Structures are given as structure tokens and as C-alpha cells.
């Protein structure tokens, strides 16, 4: 990853196949922090392509579990095998709260597992907390 300058902008990659969820996520980010750039991918394969071609160099990845072409766990396994990508924190961001999925994701290297909030205000608060916790913004 490139060294950031004084006008540091945090880059997030949201991997989610639901366009409505992508828009709500981006809207919530504008509510909490302007110095955040959010890149999206609609499935794990799309995200992997962006990461391996260096089209995207995120500081943090938010990853849905259930997507077409390549699901979240498969994507997580693949990036944890690539030296240049394995240190990027990955937060599972899913509608699931299944204990087996949570356990599997954490064993594979996910930094956290959060269930998508149903209220916009809760999403804003959650993203604010996660950004403070993981990248101090």
C-alpha cells in the first residue's frame, strides 16, 4: 500500500451484492466521516480482481457472507493466502448471526463479525465505532 499523505483518506472496500445495502453503507459513511472513500464490489470475485490488480488498496474490508460467484468465506480464504492482502482487516458484515458462520469466519482470519443493523442510525453508530476501533478515524 502507498504511504498516505497529510490529507489522509481512509479507503474501505465493501463487498456486498445488494445495491441498496451498498448505498445505505455509503450514506452512513458520509454522516460520520468525510475523509473516507468507499469502493464497492458486488461479489468476492469482483473484489479479488480489484485487489490483485491494485485497482483498490483498502485500509479495511467489509464483507458480506452470501453472494453469487464467490461467497464471503471463499473470498476471505483467498485473500488470507496472498501476502500483499492478508494483513488488511476484514470485517464480516452480514444479515447472518449464525454461530457456526461467525466461528468459521473468525478462524479464517476475520477481524470481526457484525450483523447488519436494521436502523440507519444504528448503522451510522456501528460504522463510527468500527472505524475508531480499527483505523482511528
Query: For residues 40 and 125, what is the distance between their CA atoms, to the nearest angstrom?
Result: 20
Question: pLDDT tens-digit profile of 19-62?
Answer: 999 999 999 999 986 688 999 999 999 999 999 988 778 999 99
CB atoms within 10 A of CB 96: 17
Q: How many CA atoms lie within 13 A of 96 on its CB side?
A: 19
- Tell me the domain boundaries of the chain: 13-135
* Nearest-10 crossing angle of helices 72-79, 99-107: 10
Of 14-18, 59-63, 127-131, which range is least confident? 127-131
Q: Which CATH superfamily is domain 13-135 in?
A: Response regulator (3.40.50.2300)
**How does 98-124 read in b/e, with b if 16+ C-beta sit within 10 Å?**
eeebbebbeebebbbbbebbeeeeebb
Amino acid at each position: 500500500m502507498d504511504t498516505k499523505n497529510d490529507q489522509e483518506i481512509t479507503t474501505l472496500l465493501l463487498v456486498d451484492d445488494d445495491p441498496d445495502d451498498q448505498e445505505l453503507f455509503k450514506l452512513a459513511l458520509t454522516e460520520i466521516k468525510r475523509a473516507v472513500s468507499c469502493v464497492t464490489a458486488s461479489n468476492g470475485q469482483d473484489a479479488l480482481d480489484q485487489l490483485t490488480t491494485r485497482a483498490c488498496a483498502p485500509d479495511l474490508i467489509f464483507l458480506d457472507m452470501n453472494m453469487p460467484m464467490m461467497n464471503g468465506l471463499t473470498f476471505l480464504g483467498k485473500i488470507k493466502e496472498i501476502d500483499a492482502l492478508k494483513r488488511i482487516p476484514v470485517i464480516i458484515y452480514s444479515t447472518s448471526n449464525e454461530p457456526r458462520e461467525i466461528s468459521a469466519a473468525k478462524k479464517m482470519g476475520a477481524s470481526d463479525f457484525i450483523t447488519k443493523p436494521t436502523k440507519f442510525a444504528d448503522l451510522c453508530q456501528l460504522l463510527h465505532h468500527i472505524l475508531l476501533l480499527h483505523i482511528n478515524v
